[in-house]
Amino acid sequence: MLHRYSVWAPEAERVDVHLGADASRIEPMSPDGNGWWALDVEPGDGRYAFSLDGGDPRPDPRGRRLPDGVHAASALVDPARFVWTDGDWKGRSLRGSVIYELHVGTFTEARTFDGAIERLDHLVELGVDVVELMPVASFPGRNGWGYDGVSLFSVHEPYGGPDGLNRFVDAAHARGLAVWLDVVYNHLGPVGNYLPQFGPYFTDRHQTPWGVAVNLDGPGSDEVRAYFTDNVRQWFLDYHLDGLRLDAVHALHDESATHLLEELAKLAEDIGEATGIPRVLVAESDRNDPRTVAPRGVGGAGGQGLDGQWADDVHHMLHVLLTGETQGYYADFADPQALPKTLTHSPFFHDGTFSTFRERRHGRPVEPHVTPGWRFVASLQTHDQIGNRATGERVGQLAGRGRAAIGAALLLTSPYTPMLFMGEEFDASTPWQYFTDHSEEWLAESIREGRQAEFAEHGWSGNVPDPQDPGTVETSTLNWADLDDPGRRELFDWYRTLLRLRKLIGPIRDAELGEGAVAREGDLLLVRRGLLEVLANLGAEPGRLTVPDGSELLVGYGQVGLTGSTVELGPHSVGLLRAPLPEITGELPRITD
């Protein structure tokens, strides 16, 4: 049977396809219009690569599998070959969901999709709704975070390749879990990026932290944009994924009348309507601009229409509250107003206010009637905030398990869509560090030097783990035996209880921006949302709070007791109370000695 090979190479005068694992069979391709080249030919063993104007053979920019690494030939994949069992899957929307971020290469010792499948029942027991996979597009070497991917249509072979991802999604759907994927469209990695050889995928008209920007608005950009829209179609339709997290969209420079993000939002909406399964797009953005998730309007008015966006300011506030760290960009969040503002009124502490870290005003106010709180994904821990520390400490390792439990209560009763990072729910004993597997020593040394300089700016000193050391990825791999420890199991039960209450209690599940209230005196903290109250003691000494008579203690972590109208809180303890409706007034309960 003939197979059609095609590739976009608008500047080439000759394109050949090299067939076979040894690339010994070379066939010339013919122009197919608009810079495309094509050939119908017997595929042989399914391995193939393209050469332009007699140059070295390169992997297919749209190839779905790279069995021998990012420099070798692509392999054909038939997406119809996999037998799916998720025909009854109805999907999950962003609203009401709780997300669990995991890295396939360190979630289990197997470092594969199949290994991760074996732990899906843990996530069901925990009570999350969505599994968000860190990037799985092919990247150099065996181990890495995935943000240096260079073949966006291909699935990292060491994880299990395309079939492994299919098996994972199918297994997750069978357990009622949606699956999102983190995709990186703002840049490609420095090794194995052959896109510039094929066409004008990048432009020096714009710059990013990683160099030249993706060409979204210059000559040839129509096909470049199609490269990304087709990639989205692949993940949604061929791999049955429920959502995508778009990395650092502020680095997608696009001066077109219709920004790529708006185009992707419309595409996801159309696919969702056609399939009957919601397709979710969540952006990571450094702009603090709610227009990213404001609804698309008519005639160019309105926002870009994505479903959600990360709200790092909420993380920063919680991190400073729990750890006391105020270096670097954490400095602004030592402001006493950061806690009440970001916990109840706005996901953006900087919503047009001055940012000392940036040395300028930053952000735009959120209008809750346009962009409700659930459109903002908030976290206590993420891969970024842990892994970009010098030694990858988690919040429990920095602040103690009790304070981590307090952070969980504040996050999981917030108006935002919560996201957990793998192992957070049981205070994993393992850190999560930055690791790479580059064969180029110049690149490895450049990464080492760059991280040392970055950590020095943040005031972190000491021995920084070598990203290239295999021991670094080993150290960062979850130890599931942690769950046998009674203290860690207790924290897991706390997370599980909070997640169950979030689904059952309206003031938690449907919390809205602007409707909560916060009181703090020293280490004692109280947050009210309707009839629900979160009371916490951040300190090492016992504390006492006065609450309305008839209040009910729902759950507590640590030493929490209610007698009459008095709540006793032991060190680093937190409790959830439900107050009686007749006793609720506009005033907060009094914090007593």
Would you please indicate which residues are annotated as catalytic (active-site) residues? Answer: 247, 284
**Contact present, 16 and 37 (Cβ < 8 Å):** no
Q: How far apart are CA 322 and CA 568, in angstroms?
A: 20
d(CA 275, CA 273): 6
- How open is the CA angle 337-339-342, to the nearest 5 degrees? 95
Query: Taking the chain, what is the end-to-end CA distance rounded to the nearest angstrom?
Result: 82
Are the beta carbons of 86 and 170 closer than 8 angstroms? yes
What is the maximum alpha-carbon separation in the chain?
85
Strands across the sheet containing 25-28: 25-28, 15-19, 47-52, 74-75
> CA-to-CA distance for 33 and 35, rounded, in angstroms?
6
Chain centre distance of CA 66: 24
Cα separation of 129 and 172, whole Å? 10
The span from the CA of 330 to the CA of 316, in Å, is 6
Distance between CA atoms of residues 593 and 522, nearest Å: 11
Q: CB–CB of 504/576 below 8 Å?
A: no
DSSP assignment of 446-486 equals HHHHHHHHHHHHTT--SPPPPTT-HHHHHHTS--GGGGGSH
- Residue 480, both tokens: 């599931």
Q: Which two tokens stand for residue 571?
A: 């060190």
- Cα separation, 185 vs 261, in Å, equals 11
Length of the chain (residues): 593
Beta bridge partners of 214: 202
| E-assigned strand segments in 209-332 | 211-214, 243-246, 280-283, 308-310
Pairing of strands 417-421, 99-102: parallel
Among 293, 248, 285, CA closest to 268:
293
